[in-house]
Structure 1
Amino acid sequence: MNKNLSLLPRSLQCLLMLTFPLCAFAGEGDVFSLVTSGAWQYQDNVFYLPDGFEPTSFGPNTPRGDHSWTATLGFTADKMVGRQRLTASASQSAVRYNDLTLLDYEGQNIAAGWQMQVGSDFSGNLRYTNRKSLGGFGDFRSTVLAKNIIDAESLRFDGAYKIDAYWSLFGGVSKDTWRNSTEIRRRNDLDIERLEAGVRYTTRGGTQFELLGRRSDGDYPQRLPVLNQTNSYKQKDIEARVRWQPVGHSRLSGAIGQSKREHENVPQRDYDDVYGRVGWEWQPTGHTAVNFQAERQISSLDDNFSSYFRTTTYTIAPVWQATGKIRVDGRAQWVARDGEGDTFFTALGVVGPSREEDLTTYSLGATWAIERNLSANVEVRRDERESNNQFFQYRVRSVSASLQYVF
């Protein structure tokens, strides 16, 4: 443990030096917190490999499982200026592995927000986030394993204008970018710009009906437009939503939409399909709650014989507030992913097997509020994927524990 936590990155020290002046200038009414945490995790299959496969590209004796330690230092700030709410947070983390030291990295999480209110009819929310973290291995397959740090940045504005007691207009604009540090994964670098607008009707009882239209423009800056590989797309979505609270302890929500994606250089990969979701939040007592959700999603797929995944997901997430200080959370999720759509090759008559996968996730965790500023968390988890392509199968079991203190 000492070798993992004794040498923290210099950026952690710099962050600590920067937060103390902020504390000094925080005025009355400001909410400013310095947050520190330490975490431990063990995974028996760090690289999400199929049974019988070994991570030999990291060396002949590289283990499949390993322990990791994470030290995090950050701050949060929250201030009201008139009717405007300003928020900010930043944290720096150092992640160290016992044996797989090539995966050691420094991560960060930065966020800022402005919740605005103009008059009594217009409200808005401007948000910026930037996160650097280790990319997962579950959905990326290569004969050569490599550490990949993902730099994800997002800027988004949402606004709503209240026409009268029942009708409102709302919309949003956003830009998201993903950058990969490893050369082999840079073809997945992505820029997305979105524009959306909709109308909302709220009944006297509080039920909401919404109709939303969205346009997305995506660009892969590291890709060349050749054969089956697309370097950009345009997508249009239209979606209807409803939120209903029939009784005090139940909330129902649902949505159905149509998603149409077009690729300029590889029109054979275009697709058009329906998606939707249904959710039920049930709180039978003051100490227990259950969240049920079923959804069908449409997502693009880089594959020779399919252009997108049609994904069906069922989730049950119970919560038990055992005492005033102890909360228990569970989660069970079943996912079926089926490859659909045409590609450059299938349009030429080259037919191959479409990917079909079943994923299951089970987790159980507990959070203990030891004191007002001190909390601890433990979790056990199991992930498994069955696929008609053995290369995409995996089984992962993990256990983790963390301790957090807020100054």
Structure 2
Amino acid sequence: MSTSSKNKGHLVSRKVKKKLQGAIEIVILSGYIVGNNTYAASSPDDTINPYVASSILYDSNFLRLGKNVNPLLVTGKNTTSEIIKTVTAGVNADWQFFSRQHFLINANVNQNWFQNLTGLDYTGWNTEAKWNWVAGNYLSGNLGYKNQETMGSFSQLNGLVSNMLNTQSYYGSGGYLFHPSGKVSVGFTRTDTVYDSITRRASNSILDDYQINLQYIKPTGDTIGLRFILENGQYPQREYTSTSTIDNSFTSYNYALTSSYQALEKIKVDGYAGIIQQNYVHLSVRDFTTWIAQIGLDWAMTEKTSMNLLVARNVMQSTNLYATFQSTQGVTLKPTWKATPKFALSLPLSYQQIQYLGNTGFDAAILQNQDYNDYTSSRVGMTMSYQPLDNLSIGGQLNYEKRDSQNLNRSFVDESAGLNIQAKF
């Protein structure tokens, strides 16, 4: 191994150790509480559940390489398939104090090994500490912190890159029931996303979300309301100059009408409809305004079968030269059969259409080929859960995805199968 490779390895190791420290501290603290009776929770409603888990996943096209891409040129391997093995250790805890206050900790550390792309092996974690607070009979909310280290999706990258990212979130909310039929709530969330790789750092972001909800509550429990979300976004690693084609900061306004109601005894419907307006600090030519909507239906067909239906159109900003935003619209259907209290089977199906829209104000020739990167995605899957014992659960999954696009580099087929087992203590 070369000296530069060794130094790079040591640098990555120090970064991982530094980020891992906070996650491990939460896990150790929770384990210490479990093992030390002096600090054990005394309320009969308190729960502390350490657990271990193991999983194996086969993925026929882990990097989502296009149909016309030779994997040997990208990865040095003659195959696109991958097998990932994961072991996880964690704890879930819920303490109740001062009657109605709840403090929750969910934390785990996981190690992931790749059979072919061994350079992608990583240690990850997912931790959250949250206080669900209540004050009197009319005020309630939460206050929390999340920290996750994981590998990002390759569905849009379609190639081999270092894709590790760390996400930290700080959030809080409060709701006031000012009338038996009226509730107002406010919330704030800050999300910091940092990629490890230099090639991905342009996507590092800081997002501040402010939310206000006003709801009318019917005696039946059905609701109708107004929602407003203000989001300020920054990309610290993007230096804006006079020749830049993407911005490094924006403000987004999201206005929506929300509703949730029991349509029939066994059917519940909820959703929202509204508009989103995004304005950039420097490149106003990239500003856009468009509509968003979502409707979900939960149908308890029988005691053992249920159906979930979701139809939605959502958008996200685009950073290329031929579109200002990306629209994702489609339908998801998920029938579930709970054969016994210990065994359940689901068959999720989905179809999505992704379009790149909006005039960037750049070269007209580029805009003529705007739909070249549009694509459709069809998915069929099966998930199984089995709990032979109270503290032991087994899960399995099968998935098939087919993506079609004029751009063959974005067209692919992927098949995957996984099995996992978890034991609680």
TM over 0.5: yes
1:366 pairs with 2:384: yes
Mean alpha-carbon deviation: is it higher for 263-272 or for 22-31?
A: 22-31
Structure 2 counterpart of 1:398, which letter? S
Closer/same/farther in 2, CA of residues 57 and 129 from structure 1, 3 Å limit: farther
Cross-structure match for 1:71: 87
Q: 2:290 aligns with which of 273, 276, 280?
A: 273
User: Secondary structure of the equivalent of 1:49?
Assistant: coil
1:397 pairs with 2:408: no
Cross-structure match for 1:5: none
8 A contact 1:228–1:344 mirrored in 2: no
1:92 pairs with 2:109: yes
Structure 2 counterpart of 1:66, which letter? E
1:107-165, Cα deviation, whole Å (9 max, x unpaired): 100001111110111111112111111111111245xx222211011111121101111
Distance 2:106 2:302 in 1: 34
Distance 1:14 1:131 in 2: 12
Distance 2:90 2:303 in 1: 33
Alignment of 1:109-128 (within 5 A): 109-128=126-145
1:366-402, Cα deviation, whole Å (9 max, x unpaired): 1110100001011100122111222212211000000
8 A contact 1:214–1:238 mirrored in 2: yes
Alignment of 1:255-404 (within 5 A): 255-346=272-363, 351-354=367-370, 355-404=373-422
- Deviation, structure 1 residue 20: 3.7
- Deviation, structure 1 residue 57: 5.7
Ranges in structure 2 where 5+ consecutive residues have no aligned partner: 1-15
**TM-score normalised by structure 2 residue count:** 0.89
- 4+ aligned runs moved over 2 Å, structure 1: 9-20, 27-30, 54-63, 348-352
Distance 2:361 2:389 in 1: 60
Structure 2 counterpart of 1:224, which letter? E
User: Secondary structure of the equivalent of 1:70?
Assistant: strand
For the aligned residues, what is the CA RMSD? 2.0
Higher helix residue share? 2
1:161 pairs with 2:176: yes
Q: 1:195 aligns with which of 210, 229, 235?
A: 210
Cross-structure match for 2:222: 207
Q: 1:184 aligns with which of 199, 205, 209?
A: 199
1:225 pairs with 2:243: no
Distance 1:398 1:155 in 2: 34
Distance 1:28 1:385 in 2: 53
Mean alpha-carbon deviation: is it higher for 188-197 or for 50-59?
A: 50-59
State the identity %: 20
Distance 1:117 1:248 in 2: 31
**TM-score normalised by structure 1 residue count:** 0.93
Cross-structure match for 2:10: none
- Deviation, structure 1 residue 266: 1.0
Cross-structure match for 1:6: none
Cross-structure match for 1:248: 265
8 A contact 2:236–2:248 mirrored in 1: yes
8 A contact 1:135–1:147 mirrored in 2: no
Closer/same/farther in 2, CA of residues 397 and 212 from structure 1, 3 Å limit: same
Ranges in structure 1 where 5+ consecutive residues have no aligned partner: 1-8
Cross-structure match for 1:3: none
8 A contact 1:306–1:342 mirrored in 2: yes
Cross-structure match for 1:4: none
Q: 1:40 aligns with which of 56, 64, 69?
A: 56
- Deviation, structure 1 residue 104: 0.5
Aligned residues: 396
Q: 1:21 aligns with which of 32, 45, 53?
A: 32
8 A contact 2:24–2:109 mirrored in 1: no
Q: 1:101 aligns with which of 118, 136, 139?
A: 118
Closer/same/farther in 2, CA of residues 292 and 59 from structure 1, 3 Å limit: closer
Closer/same/farther in 2, CA of residues 112 and 62 from structure 1, 3 Å limit: farther
8 A contact 2:149–2:165 mirrored in 1: yes
